[in-house]
């Protein structure tokens, strides 16, 4: 006897699909176009809905959750402004390849295109900033569309996928059937590298005198950190990482050169300029890494491994491309190598660059500096925390001075550079990893962009440590104004308009305190980590006019690094 299929409403189908996709959390905000979904949500017990205070916060929470867990983040918002408020977060997820599925409410089908109340063409708006998007016009296609959305978001090169849900579709009924398999014409990600290309890469590495592994966030996304570490350790290869790649290889390991690029370490950038074989692993040759592409690693044979064929030769022309999942390709490459080359001369040269220009800062004048706070954090946590940075100077100092040991412990906005990312993303990261300390680092400017989400953290009594590094400036913009814009500090001084952050945090339900004394930093941190009954906000009032060095000016060669020493010579 043929089994009768369930007849469900669109809202019921929606949640049945999420159950089958093992969704744990939805970050969302209700509104008129999604009331049927929220009506059904009232009775759903297999997932938890996190009520945000702004839809941009929902996106960053979903990003933080996805980055920390490797799972798909899920967002649910209403039509019109609810949908358009997600656009910055969607763009952020798109540029950083974060798997998020965004469900937006839409006006009823018969009103689409008629300028109805709270109508916005969110499919048209987000077409350039999503991996794919859908408008569901037929309830019979709802389940298969949601299945495709999760598949697209999480496979190949990950990314955000948007599904627009007209209000009437959620109230209609049909038989429920969830596809076991997804077949999309033209979408066939390649996971294993071409054997002959891998053999060629192994041959070039065996003959190299000055090899270098250039590691991007793709290694972490693919779960390839163990393979990377075996490849590097078995062959004694130096490893440098992008901002998103930090944590793919332990920052405490002697083979780590730290971050490369605009604010990378001196020795990493010198190694890039002097290597003879460069292997890019899950990295896209971003302009903040390469500087002037014509002079980037110009003496090196370049090997590029990436799952996205469109990334090959997009920014830098390479000598040997390998398309495939970097986790599998690294394993295949390591299996081909039987490397006994002595790199002692190459390592000696790299170490001489370390000695020539170490990371340093003034610490004898009694004033509090961001670098000092981050070093203390690194020493206290020993890399066993999830660190979520906002955007600006503190982001770069964290990349330089915090020793990331594990993958998915460094969460930040890279490609879009979105101020306001850290506070909500830290909340999402906590739900992904509740057993780990979660630290949010923000400048005073970025903190104010989504500080309302402290209410969300307080409502759930999340023991997140929110640290504000307050220099009363838009620090990175001020640095550029000093160096390149005639010291005209136009609208970057926040000293007259910043709120009392301690009173603000307390009003939003957090414990809070402040210091400007280096001698009090350890006590403040110990006190913050000792309190776990809810969120803590600590304001560190730091030096106002500090600058991040090394620095490669935009468009310049990485060989033209600006280096500031303690004697103030550049």
Give the active site residue among 36, 148, 157, 167: 167
Separation between Cα atoms, residue 423 and residue 523, nearest integer Å:
23
Q: Compute the distance between CA of residue 222 and CA of residue 227 in angstroms, rounded to an integer.
A: 10
Phi, psi of 42 (to 5 degrees): -55, -30
- Helical axes 422-432 vs 55-69, angle rounded to 10°: 50
Alpha-carbon distance of 544 to 370, in angstroms, equals 10
Return d(Cα 223, Cα 457) in angstroms, integer.
Answer: 29
Contact 411, 429 (CB under 8 A): yes
What is the DSSP-derived secondary structure letter of residue 508? T
| CA pair distance 21, 69, nearest whole angstrom | 15
Residues in the chain: 570
Alpha-carbon span 460 to 466, nearest angstrom: 15
Which residue among the candidates 39, 71, 118, 452 is catalytic per the annotation?
118
Tell me if the bond preceding 130 is cis, omega within 30° of 0: no
Instruction: Please pick, among 55, 119, 227, 371, the residue that the annotation labels catalytic.
Output: 55
Structure tokens at 504: 């603000």
- Is 114 marked active-site? no
- Give the three-state DSSP class for 568: coil
- Are 402 and 378 spatial neighbours (Cβ–Cβ below 8 Å)? yes
Does the active-site annotation cover 48? Answer: no
Calculate ∠ Cα 31-36-40, nearest 5°.
115
Token pair of 475, please? 């620090």
The catalytic position among 476, 501, 540, 541 is: 476
Q: What's the distance, Cα to Cα, between the start and end of the chain in Å?
A: 82
What whole-number distance in Å separates Cα of residue 411 and Cα of residue 220?
Answer: 11
Contact 528, 465 (CB under 8 A): yes
User: If you ran DSSP here, which 8-state letter would residue 473 be given?
Assistant: B
Bridge partner list, 386? 438
For the chain, give me the number of helices (H) and strands (E)? Answer: 23, 20
CB 478 within 8 A of CB 542: no
Distance CA 542, CA 369 (A): 5
CB atoms under 10 Å from CB of 484, counted, come to 10
Given the residues 48, 117, 356, 562, select the one marked as catalytic: 117
Using DSSP, state whether 303 is helix, strand or coil: strand
Catalytic site includes residue 61: no
Contact 392/475 with Cβ under 8 angstroms?
A: yes
With CA atoms as reference, report the closest residue to 428 among 411, 414, 442, 416: 411
Cβ–Cβ contacts within 10 Å for residue 360, how many? 11
Catalytic-residue membership of 183: no
Q: Is 505 helix (H, G, I), strand (E, B) or coil?
A: helix
447 is catalytic: no
Catalytic residue numbers? 55, 117-118, 167, 476
């Amino acid at each position: 006897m043929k089994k009768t299929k369930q007849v469900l409403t669109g809202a019921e189908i929606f949640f049945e699909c999420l159950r089958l996709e093992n969704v744990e959390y939805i970050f969302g905000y209700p509104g008129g176009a999604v009331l049927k979904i929220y009506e059904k949500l009232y009775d759903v017990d297999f997932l938890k809905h996190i009520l945000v205070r702004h839809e941009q916060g929902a996106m960053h929470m979903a990003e933080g959750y996805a980055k920390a867990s490797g799972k798909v983040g899920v967002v649910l918002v209403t039509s019109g402004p609810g949908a358009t408020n997600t656009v910055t977060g969607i763009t952020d997820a798109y540029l950083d390849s974060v798997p998020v599925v965004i469900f937006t409410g839409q006006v009823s089908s018969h009103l689409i295109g008629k300028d109805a109340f709270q109508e916005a063409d969110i499919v048209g708006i987000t077409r350039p900033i999503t991996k794919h998007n859908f408008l569901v016009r037929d309830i019979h296609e709802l389940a298969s569309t949601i299945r495709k959305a999760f598949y697209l978001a999480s496979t190949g090169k990950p990314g955000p996928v948007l599904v627009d849900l007209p209000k009437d579709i959620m109230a209609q009924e049909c038989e429920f059937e969830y596809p076991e398999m997804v077949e999309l014409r033209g979408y066939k990600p390649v996971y294993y590298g071409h054997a002959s290309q891998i053999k060629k890469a192994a041959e070039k590495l065996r003959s190299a005198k000055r090899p270098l592994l250039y590691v991007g966030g793709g290694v972490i996304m693919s779960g390839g950190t163990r393979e990377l570490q075996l490849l590097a350790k078995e062959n004694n290869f130096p490893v440098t990482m992008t901002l998103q790649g930090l944590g793919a290889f332990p920052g405490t390991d002697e083979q780590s050169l730290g971050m490369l690029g605009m604010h990378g370490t001196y020795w990493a950038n010198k190694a890039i300029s002097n290597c003879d074989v460069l292997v890019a692993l899950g990295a896209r040759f971003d302009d903040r890494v390469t500087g002037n592409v014509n002079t980037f690693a110009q003496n090196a044979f370049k090997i590029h491994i990436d799952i996205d064929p469109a990334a090959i030769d997009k920014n830098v022309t390479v000598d040997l491309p390998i398309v495939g999942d970097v986790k599998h390709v690294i394993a295949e490459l390591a299996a081909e190598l039987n490397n006994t080359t002595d790199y002692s001369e190459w390592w000696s040269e790299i170490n001489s660059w370390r000695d020539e220009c170490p990371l340093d800062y003034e610490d004898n004048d009694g004033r509090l500096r961001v670098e000092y706070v981050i070093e203390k954090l690194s020493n206290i946590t020993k890399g066993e925390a999830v660190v979520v940075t906002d955007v600006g100077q503190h982001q770069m100092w964290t990349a330089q001075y915090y020793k990331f040991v594990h993958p998915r412990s460094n969460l930040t906005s890279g490609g879009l550079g979105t101020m306001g990312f850290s506070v909500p993303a830290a909340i999402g990261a906590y739900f992904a990893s509740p057993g780990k300390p979660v630290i949010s680092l923000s400048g005073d400017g970025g903190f104010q962009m989504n500080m309302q989400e402290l209410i969300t953290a307080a409502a759930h009594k999340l023991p997140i440590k929110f640290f504000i590094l307050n220099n009363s400036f838009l620090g990175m913009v001020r640095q550029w104004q000093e160096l390149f814009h005639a010291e005209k500090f136009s609208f970057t001084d926040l000293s007259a308009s910043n709120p009392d952050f301690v009173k603000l945090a307390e009003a939003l339900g957090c414990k809070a305190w402040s210091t400007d004394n280096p001698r009090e930093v350890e006590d403040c941190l110990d006190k913050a980590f000792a309190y776990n009954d809810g969120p803590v906000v600590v304001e560190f009032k730091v030096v106002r006019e500090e600058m991040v060095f090394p620095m490669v000016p935009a468009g310049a060669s990485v060989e033209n690094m600006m280096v500031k020493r303690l004697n103030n010579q550049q």
